[in-house]
Structure 1
Amino acid sequence: MTAGLVDCDEGVVEIAGSALRDLDEQRRAELIAYIPQEPYVLHASVRDNLRYANHDATERELLEVCRAVALDRLVEQLDDGLDSVIGEKGHRLSGGERQRLAIARAALKRPALVVMDEPTAHLDTATEARVREAMGELFGTAGILMIAHRLSTVRHADRIVVLEGGRIVQSGRHEELAQQVGRYRVLLGSSDQAVLS
């Protein structure tokens, strides 16, 4: 999937110094990595699924991204390691493993912008924390736009935007929003695993 299918009503969205609306589909695909909640996995090997984003990725790079997203143990356990075929739609993988594979694949692409839709919804708390800590290493200077309902997923973001009824009702860092009277604080008070809706 490439972003830019729907233009904004007002203003201009820029990426890498160009207006998104002025970029052709190929250029948008080069600049943007999209990680959906239910990522698409090829009926191919782990290696081929990872290299789909970057055909020139080295063995070392493949193993490094697998380690960063906590897929290294899985790869070691598979009969053929990186060359193991993971089945149609990745049926040999759990939902969390498919999500981590998609994050690793996006990192190998080296995009300017990463759009993540509930990228850790299927991860346990410990694995989510490990993946979150690896984000800087994985994506370097790329911008990350993360859509999430779980507070633990967004609390370390540089900026959190709280939407309600399709409108922005709050914006800021976790520490700021936690002190303000508003929707974020209500959700924060209900639980660390609160759902933003």
Structure 2
Amino acid sequence: MFQPKTLAFAVLLAAPIAVQAAESPWTLHFGAHVVDPKSDTGQLAGLPSSVSKSTRPTFSVEYRFAPGWSAELLAALPFQHEVRLDGTRAVSVKQLPPTFGVLYHFMEGGKVSPFVGAGVNYTWFFDKKGRNALDGAHVQMENSWGAAGHAGVDIRLDDRWTFTVDARYMDIDTKVKVNGARVGTAHVDPWVYGLSFGYRL
């Protein structure tokens, strides 16, 4: 026969595990974001340049290390852009923008919790291909380190799930070469905005 003392002992053993799960500092986020470069990215080869938008799935891991404070690492599937010179497509390129930041959450634990943060971005440009007049040319775009700002709001759905709306600003500058000759620097400097769901482990 099951004894009350046995039940009490089982509850005492399970309680720390339940508390630990409820208070886990780790949250995984899954969503989609738009990388929206500024409209004028500077002069390349003496011509005005622009870079197209791109939308891709994103994911991040967030670790709360103190009340209200967390660290976050953002990753994504490769974004793909077109670089235009004087309105004409000249280069296609893919990039990955891993970004690390520290966030402060206002009203943490509430139904709605705004946050702000700052950090650093590294952008890796790859699969660069010349198009139209640059078809067949060897195009180089230097990888970029830069500052990143972040702001948004978490909406708590239940004890585990949150819905997040956020925006980031990234300082991205890349030196561009064509067939070994430098043609200028593209000041991409995009806004990155999107939606995601977070699951607290």
Q: TM-score, normalised by structure 2?
A: 0.20
Where is the strand percentage greater, Structure 1 or Structure 2?
2
Higher helix share: 1
**TM-score of the two chains, using structure 1 as the length reference:** 0.21
Q: Which has the larger radius of gyration?
A: 2
